[in-house]
Chains A and B, each alone.
Chain A
Amino acid sequence: MYDTPKIIINDLNVNIGKQQILRNINVLIPENKITIILGPSGCGKTTLLKTLNRLTDLYEDVELTGSIIIDNIDILNTKVDITRIRQKMGLLSQRPYPLPMSIFDNIAYGLRISGIRKKRILNEKVEHYLRQASLWDEVHTRLKDPASKLSIGQQQRLCLARGLAVDPEIILADEPTSALDPISSQAIEEKFIELKNNYTIVLVTHILRQARRIADHVVFMYLGDVIEQGPAEEIFNNPQMERTKQYFKGAFN
């Protein structure tokens, strides 16, 4: 039933200080599918997502054990060049964090740090990725404006375009629609469905309806444990575990 796994998480344990946040996580994330990490607030979804590109490095007292294998490389190995790994992944966070620069420079930033300097190539790529995030038509007349002038929904699409511009293979999204209005949320969801042909998408959410709309693969978590995982249809139509059934019935909401 499994497709080729893009990310293999083996026996991952995460502790912050004395508190255990994630317990023995074993998860396979299939390539070019939307994998939804589902669960109530505080179950460790976001932490799991942040370990995937080692943003956990930024927090004090975080201890990781186990392994996360992406393309045969264990990214938890400290000898791995983490900036290279992070460029393989785009990140969308709960609310958009555009960089403090113009709309154009927000997209060009990632390109420039990876060594692209030619003005013509930058122009082409910025247009390409803004179009890919369905933002070009709204902003092409004011690319020099500060990104902070955009609406929240536009900013989130700008962050998506910015993430795509570094040419990642994986998109990580942490409740990317939670700060957005319904129309902007729908735009982002539709974008994800379009993008999954070329990207492996990992999306964290606690919104069951959103998961049902777009998931190919579901990982259900509860209090630091993975309770159940598998193809979306199986999980939604025929959950095996009691906790999953309760969650679907709305017991935790």
Chain B
Amino acid sequence: MMKFKKTEETFFKFLMLFSTFIIVAALIVIIISILYKGLPSLSWEMVSQTPKGGYYFGKEGGVLNAIIGSIYLSAGATFLALLIGLPVSLLLNIYLIKQKRIVNTIRFFLDLLWGIPSIVYGAFGFTIMIYFGMKSSLLAGIITVSLFIIPIMVRAMDEVLKNVPMGLMEASFSLGSTKSETSYKVFLKQCSTGLITAILLSFGRAIGDAASVLFTTGYTDNIPTSLNQPTATLPLSIFFQLSSPISEVKSRAYASALILTIIILVISVITRIVSKKYDKHKIKF
């Protein structure tokens, strides 16, 4: 019996180590390959200039249009998603606290929406654009991408808010707080770190997605100056450059991927630092 337990322990320990190894190894391989293929092409020119004529044949220029475009698009979409997602997650956890069945149904549909591929959101956004007679533009992209990240944001926030103990909610109500005071003055403070992580997760999905912006945002070599203009994005920029037969352009695709990775990294680090500041009031249970 003891021998079996020991074998069991060893087996599961090995299994956990192996699984962790696979994930970490995959990440390292991806990073090394974009570094190896992209670093030679990464230059100040790449991040400071828009594509000049002949850029896509290996001539001078950079992907500033896509960098700025991606940041505009994801920031806009994340902001729009936050305006809708935060109230929904508060509704699920505070206003509908007694209606567990309704809440679980809503959660089920949000999980379904989470699973829908982003190209479907892209097609959906495109249909709506046609209906309103819109052309592919930054605004259309922001709306489509926000639709696609709302379920992700809501469920991520929902998981955080769900973990607030009942006792804290009772404490807040017993002081005479209304539901909105409980939401905005107590729950948001208690959950700030988790909520920021949820926003970051959604931003990461927004900036990294190519399919939803393919029809809706379009592509351009210029930096957009209004919401009605088509906008370039990094994932599409990578896609176009990668499908080029010219090796120099291919290498620039990896450099663009590197830029995208660095943007996400920088934003992650900044949010961690900012959220630490708000974390000190959190009550640990």
Binding site for B on A (CB under 8 A): 50, 53, 55, 57-60, 83-84, 86-87, 89-91, 93-95, 97-102, 109-110, 113-114, 146-148, 159, 162-163, 166, 172
Contact = CB atoms under 8 A, between A and B. Distances in A.
B192 to A, nearest CB: 8
Given A60-B99, A99-B186, A84 B281 contact: no
A99 B174 contact: no
18 contacts: A55-B173, A55-B174, A57-B98, A58-B98, A59-B98, A83-B176, A93-B171, A95-B167, A97-B168, A97-B171, A98-B171, A100-B168, A100-B186, A100-B190, A101-B189, A102-B281, A113-B177, A113-B185
A59 B174 CA distance: 15
A86 B174 contact: yes
A94 to B, nearest CB: 8
Given A55-B173, A99-B172, A60 B98 contact: yes
A91 B174 contact: yes
A166 B176 CA distance: 8
B23 interface: no
A146 B280 contact: yes
A58 B165 CA distance: 13
A104 to B, nearest CB: 12
A109 B175 contact: yes
A113 B166 CA distance: 21
Q: Which residue, B167, B170, B174, B176, has most C-beta atoms of chain A within 10 A?
A: B174
Contact of A100 (B170, B176, B189): B189
Nearest to A101: B281
Q: Which residue, B97, B173, B186, has most C-beta atoms of chain A within 10 A?
A: B173
B52 interface: no
B4 to A, nearest CB: 38
Contacts of A147: 281, 283
B280 A86 contact: no
Contact of A99 (B100, B165, B171): B171
A148 B173 contact: no
Given A53-B174, A91-B170, A163-B174, A100 B281 contact: yes
A57 B185 CA distance: 20
Given A91-B171, A91-B174, A100 B283 contact: yes
B185 A109 contact: yes
B102 to A, nearest CB: 10
Interface of B: 97-100, 165-178, 181, 185-186, 189-190, 280-284
A84 B185 CA distance: 18
A93 B167 contact: yes
Nearest to B171: A97
Nearest to B280: A146
Q: Which 4 A-B pairs have the closest CB atoms?
A: A87-B176, A91-B174, A100-B190, A97-B171
Contacts of A101: 189, 281
Contact of B283 (A59, A87, A90, A98): A98
A60 B100 contact: yes
A35 to B, nearest CB: 18
Nearest to A109: B175
B175 A166 contact: yes
A86 B175 contact: yes
Given A83-B173, A87-B175, A163-B175, 5 more contacts: A58-B173, A84-B176, A86-B174, A99-B189, A163-B174
Contact of B167 (A97, A110, A163, A172): A97
Given A97-B167, A100-B283, A146-B280, A110 B175 contact: yes
B281 A83 contact: no
A146 B281 contact: yes
A105 B284 CA distance: 18
A146 B190 CA distance: 12
B282 to A, nearest CB: 5
Contacts of A159: 171
Contacts of A99: 168, 171-172, 186, 189, 283
Contacts of B175: 86-87, 109-110, 113, 162-163, 166
